Amino acid sequence: MAGFQSLPGFREFFPEDFSRRQHIFRVWRQSARAYGFQEYDAPVLEPLELYKAKSGDEIEAQLFSFTDKGGREVALRPEMTPTVCRLVGEKAGALKRPIKWFSVGEFYRYERAQKGRLRAFNQFNADIFGEAGPEAEIELIALLIQCLAGFGLTKDDFLIRLSDRDLWFFYLEALGLDDTQSRALLGAIDRYEKMGDDAFKGYAEAHGVLAEETKARVLAFLKIKSLPDLEAILRPFESEKLAARLADWRKVLGGLAAMGLQDFVSVDLAVVRGLAYYTGFVFEAFDRKGDLRALAGGGRYNDLIRKLGYADLPAVGFAIGDVTTGLLLEQRGLAPTFVNAPDVYAVIGGEAERAAAFADICALRAAGWRVDYPLKDVAFGKQFKIAAEAGAKLALIYGGDELAKGVVKIRDLSDRSEREVPRDQVVVAVREALGGGVE
């Protein structure tokens, strides 16, 4: 095999792939701006310590980490959340609340590469800091919906499954489990959809086999798919705390319904999220047909900023990945086709005419038009062919006869009509021919 290959799980973006990725980033950025979020960025290489015990065992095992030449233990970022907590933590006192931030960037996880899972992928992250109430969840879930609907995807294409680690902890405590057991059990619940009963094996090894009755009650909670069912299963444990939490649930679902987004969201307690830092509402977005991995995931993480050594600041957010989003757009025929046609192609007679053409080409480009020309002398007829094949709208013809008369010929390549314009009128004539503004 000749040459080198890229590493497994890393992508190359040829122009067509790149334009698809740009389309995805553009829709995400437009959505975030419409929702009043501000963009930030941060380093891709971070101290290893930032992720140890903060992100959870699964991500820790997937880190691209090494010791740098200065002896520092470092890791390529597997996610944005710990980093953005540091950024916000550093400036918390000076930032106006609520803090609504977003970013688009590349992340790295040493996963087994498979459909929808790579080792380098892009995420759009959006987070709100400084708002403890469920109003922040409404805003973020609505933004997540817009980030997918912005491509033309509908409620028949994707679904947001909303769950609550707070209520899970409340319920498991009521069943008699302590905090360590509850955390371990949530790990098992996170794997249950994929593994079935085997998911409980790790829990049993560490904490003993779950009593049949407890397991049955855990599975009953996991299968809940509506707010009335959630209220019903929790009725025996009535308390002020529970009542307040259920009021939060009604607020989130009510807020989203008022925005007309109810059909995009379903209550689903099977979602608990693998990352260790989530404390309250958690949610994931899935393709409705269900053959892709998660499109997005997020939730509330009220303790993380404090655990990193900064102020106590409530936080909630999510990330969407570009890999599954790209696959879904392709499946639904919503990936854009690659358009890279010049507005204008300059057809140049020969070396003598080149200087005159260059002056106009440069002026047109400065005005924002996309202009191309043959780098080397090419036969006249061939240049028209190149212009047509490139999809150019106009040809500007710089022949010896035209220049001798002080004019340039403009040919509309769609209907082949031609007219001559004085040399100093070229930019104006192009603007007229192309309909006023630069696209």
CA distance 112 to 109: 9
Count residues near ligand HAM (CB under 6 A): 23
Only segment of 39-47, 119-127, 389-397, 402-410 that touches ligand HAM (CB under 6 A): 119-127
Q: How far is the CB of 7 from ligand HAM (least distance, A)?
A: 14
How many Å from the N-terminal Cα to the C-terminal Cα in the chain? 44
Residues 304 and 277 sit within 8 Å (Cβ to Cβ): yes
Pick one of 294, 363, 427, 429: the residue that binds ligand HAM (CB under 6 A).
294
Q: Identity (one letter) of the amino acid at 328?
A: L
Only segment of 190-198, 202-210, 318-326, 376-384 that touches ligand HAM (CB under 6 A): 318-326
Nearest to 234 by CA among 173, 287, 289, 286: 173
Contact call for residue 321 and ligand HAM (CB under 6 A):
yes
Contact call for residue 297 and ligand HAM (CB under 6 A):
yes
Question: What number of helices (H) and strands (E) belong to the chain?
Answer: 16, 16
Residues in the chain: 439
For residues 294 and 386, which CB has a smaller minimum distance to ligand HAM in the complex? 294
Query: 162: which residues sit within 8 A by CB, 6+ positions away?
Result: 141, 252, 253, 265, 266, 267, 268, 271, 281, 282, 283
Establish how many alpha carbons lie within 13 A of residue 15's alpha carbon, considering only the half-sphere containing its beta carbon. 4
Using CB under 6 A as the criterion, what x/- string covers residues 70-109 for binding ligand HAM? ---------xxx---------------------------x
Using CB under 6 A as the criterion, what x/- string covers residues 237-276 for binding ligand HAM? --------------------------------------x-
Residues 328 and 104 sit within 8 Å (Cβ to Cβ): no
Pair of tokens at residue 417: 């009509």
Pick one of 127, 137, 164, 402: the residue that binds ligand HAM (CB under 6 A).
127
Contact call for residue 353 and ligand HAM (CB under 6 A):
no
Pick one of 280, 317, 326, 342: the residue that binds ligand HAM (CB under 6 A).
317
**For the residues of 141-195, what is the DSSP string, one character each?**
HHHHHHHHHTTT--TTTEEEEEEEHHHHHHHHHHTT--HHHHHHHHHHHHHHHHH
CA distance 191 to 113: 19
For residues 323 and 392, which CB has a smaller minimum distance to ligand HAM in the complex? 323
In Å, how far from its chain's centre is CA 361? 38
Pick one of 128, 185, 253, 319: the residue that binds ligand HAM (CB under 6 A).
319
Contact call for residue 123 and ligand HAM (CB under 6 A):
yes
What is the number of the residue whose Cβ is closest to ligand HAM? Answer: 321
Only segment of 153-161, 232-240, 243-251, 288-296 that touches ligand HAM (CB under 6 A): 288-296
For residues 286 and 369, which CB has a smaller minimum distance to ligand HAM in the complex? 286
Residues facing 120 on adjacent strands: 108
Only segment of 114-122, 189-197, 255-263, 395-403 that touches ligand HAM (CB under 6 A): 114-122
Contact call for residue 118 and ligand HAM (CB under 6 A):
yes
Only segment of 37-45, 117-125, 364-372, 420-428 that touches ligand HAM (CB under 6 A): 117-125
Pick one of 76, 85, 224, 323: the residue that binds ligand HAM (CB under 6 A).
323
Four-CA torsion 358, 360, 364, 370, nearest 10 degrees: -40
For ligand HAM, the binding residues (CB under 6 A) are 79-81, 109, 111, 117-118, 121, 123, 125, 127, 275, 294-298, 317-319, 321, 323-324
